[in-house]
Structure 1
Amino acid sequence: MYKILKNIIKNNSLKGIGDDLLIVGSRGSKLALVQTNYIKKRLSDLGNKKLEIRIIKTSGDKITSSQLYNMDSKGLFTKELDRAVLEEEIDFAVHSLKDVPTDLDEDLEIAAIPIRESPNEVLISNYEWEDLNKSSTLATSSLRREAFCNHYKKGLKLKPIRGNINTRLDKVLNGEIDATIMAEAGLKRLGLTKYIKNRFPLDYITPPAGQGALAIITRKDSNIKNKIQKLDHYESHQEVLAEKTVLEELGIGCQWPLGAIARIKDKEIELYSILLTQKGEILYKNTLTGPIKDSENIGKQLSKNIEEYI
């Protein structure tokens, strides 16, 4: 799927995109709607004033009692929306890119990746990270985050947690748990950054591939694809292409504690990835750097280096 990202035709024209009604699919969470309304505003700025949001409930919204890594999580937050695109009930869907499976349906494609928000992980707590200890409870539904907590040998009491951002925030603020770890991007989009206690460097707690980025999904034969492609941001696109290629080549998802982050620096792309055990032992970590146009190949090379540890 991510091979097609490199073939998106760039079109930076600000010419109006027409007056036809476009229907965009979204999950119903506050974050999903904020993200979808952001895309709606961007398209409106390009000239299309007739956009309607249709809320579609996904499997991930219905399942609230299980750890994601203990179930088949492929497409858990995306497949119902993608089905609606395929069946032309909606014109396109907006996803958090990290939720999009690497084996997207052959009739669909990621038409655009808008400019990326922060990919960093952050601590939500009344305590500083260095003050959390063996008596502290940290809740997470992520195997990767759990592995990093174990890696730093703080002896934290780890417990599962599900729910949207506000639900998890409330559990910390009400003292039900001492801390949790979240993606900074969601908190920024919701205007909740005042609750961030610590912001982790990307190589300290490495995010999952694609964190902070959005993906706009259309049918490959969609007659509005060229309109959506106006929102594509080249640098963000290349970063997540490198990261997601690692996952695509390895054929793994959230069942492995794998972090991957690419950043563009000085006209080159730098891709860092780290693989841990659930107990926090580092199995492999490395950084590869090369020309931005080679982002996919860099992802492939790094995945080959990781393969023997999977």
Structure 2
Amino acid sequence: MIVGTRGSQLALKQTKDVCADLSKITGQDIEINIIKTKGDKITDSQLYNMDSKGLFTKELDKAVLEEEVDFSVHSFKDLPTELDEDLEIVAVPKREAPNEVLISDKSWDELTEGSTLGTSSLRREAFCNLYKKDLQLKPIRGNIETRINKVKDTSLDATIMAQAGLKRLNLDNNIKTIFPLDYFTPAAGQGALAVITRKDSDKKEVISKLNHYQSMQEVFGEKSILKELGVGCQWPIGAIARFNNNKFNLYSILLTQEGEILKECNETGSIKDAEDLGRKIGMIFKDYV
């Protein structure tokens, strides 16, 4: 089998982990094909100022559709809300920690007015404004190591990142603060991976054995909020689903870029109804966007 992936260190680590697990099932080695996406080529612009649909996935989708590769591995949060009709997410491996984290020599409370924080995320910008930190927000792009180094070399006082990527690359010693999920709510799907094949693929059945049902239902619930709204990066939205003690809870918050809370929703129900709960929240949010 052949897998398609982006070429960043994180993307390769994620893909190699998936391939290792799949090789245990099939007993076969999997060839890795690195594919450069449009998002990898653009390094000087805020993501939310661009047409972000498929920014990090379109070229990989094309490779899967044209049978250059058998499947692809993505960070779930990078996926557009609508997949090509001939593609399918056949597996979501067990989710890593979805939390947001602070990378800085200073604590969150020590970041005073005028401190520089790097982010190209509209959602992270909105949360910084929500907590009235009066930080000087600066665009930042690049891989995880690049962003960490910009803090270390004092180009920035801080940046905010996903805990999952740092853990996967064994760089979590750089974390200053792990934010609670209800304080700095992550992007829909954060911490999870998506394994995508063609709907008619003869490899689909074996690849689907990588799926972790709870993780899939959590992120499908979160993404269904955006799908119902028909938005991606255009609005600051945090969403997190958790399944604990046989209870499935989906929380989401909609903000303005300036940090005003437009609406918060919290829905509880059966894990099998995750997408219905997400659609319910999305319908409520429609009145505010």
Question: TM-score with structure 1 length normalisation?
Answer: 0.92
Quote the residue 1:3 is aligned against: none
Q: Counterparts of 1:123-142 in structure 2 under 5 Å? A: 123-142=102-121
1:300 matched to 2:286? The reply is no
Q: Deviations over 1:258-295 (max 9, x none)?
A: 00100002212100000111110000002100011111
Among 217, 220, 237, which residue is 2:196 paired with? 217
Quote the residue 1:265 is aligned against: 244
Secondary structure at the counterpart of residue 138 of structure 1: strand
Quote the residue 1:58 is aligned against: 37
Structure 1 segments unaligned to the other structure (5+ residues): 1-21
Q: Deviations over 1:155-177 (max 9, x none)?
A: 10111111110000000000000
Q: Deviations over 1:104-154 (max 9, x none)?
A: 000000010000001000000010000001131001000000000000001
Runs of 4+ in 1 over 4 A off after TM superposition: none
Q: For 1:294 and 1:117, how far apart are their aligned partners in 2?
A: 22
Q: For 1:286 and 1:105, how far apart are their aligned partners in 2?
A: 29
Among 229, 244, 253, which residue is 1:274 paired with? 253
Quote the residue 2:15 is aligned against: 36
1:75 matched to 2:31? The reply is no
1:192 matched to 2:158? The reply is no
Quote the residue 2:225 is aligned against: 246
Report the aligned-residue RMSD.
Answer: 0.6
1:116 matched to 2:116? The reply is no
Q: Deviations over 1:60-84 (max 9, x none)?
A: 0000000000000111011100100
Q: For 2:17 and 2:37, how far apart are their aligned partners in 1?
A: 20
Alpha-carbon shift at residue 50 of structure 1 (Å): 2.4
1:228 matched to 2:187? The reply is no
Equivalenced residue count is 289
Quote the residue 1:144 is aligned against: 123
Among 148, 162, 184, which residue is 2:141 paired with? 162
Quote the residue 1:5 is aligned against: none
Structure 2 segments unaligned to the other structure (5+ residues): none
Quote the residue 2:235 is aligned against: 256
Q: For 1:305 and 1:255, how far apart are their aligned partners in 2?
A: 17
Quote the residue 1:85 is aligned against: 64
What letter corresponds to residue 117 of structure 2 in structure 1? L
Q: For 1:151 and 1:44, how far apart are their aligned partners in 2?
A: 46
What letter corresponds to residue 284 of structure 1 in structure 2? K
What letter corresponds to residue 305 of structure 1 in structure 2? I
What letter corresponds to residue 105 of structure 2 in structure 1? N
Q: For 1:293 and 1:29, how far apart are their aligned partners in 2?
A: 34
Alpha-carbon shift at residue 47 of structure 1 (Å): 2.7
Q: Deviations over 1:175-207 (max 9, x none)?
A: 000000000000000000000000000011100
What letter corresponds to residue 149 of structure 2 in structure 1? D
Quote the residue 1:173 is aligned against: 152
Structure 1 window deviating more from structure 2 (47-56 vs 278-287): it is: 47-56
Secondary structure at the counterpart of residue 130 of structure 1: coil
Q: Deviations over 1:17-49 (max 9, x none)?
A: xxxxx0000100000000000011001111332
Q: For 1:127 and 1:216, how far apart are their aligned partners in 2?
A: 37
Q: For 1:35 and 1:122, how far apart are their aligned partners in 2?
A: 19
Quote the residue 1:8 is aligned against: none
Secondary structure at the counterpart of residue 131 of structure 1: coil
Secondary structure at the counterpart of residue 129 of structure 1: coil
Quote the residue 1:94 is aligned against: 73
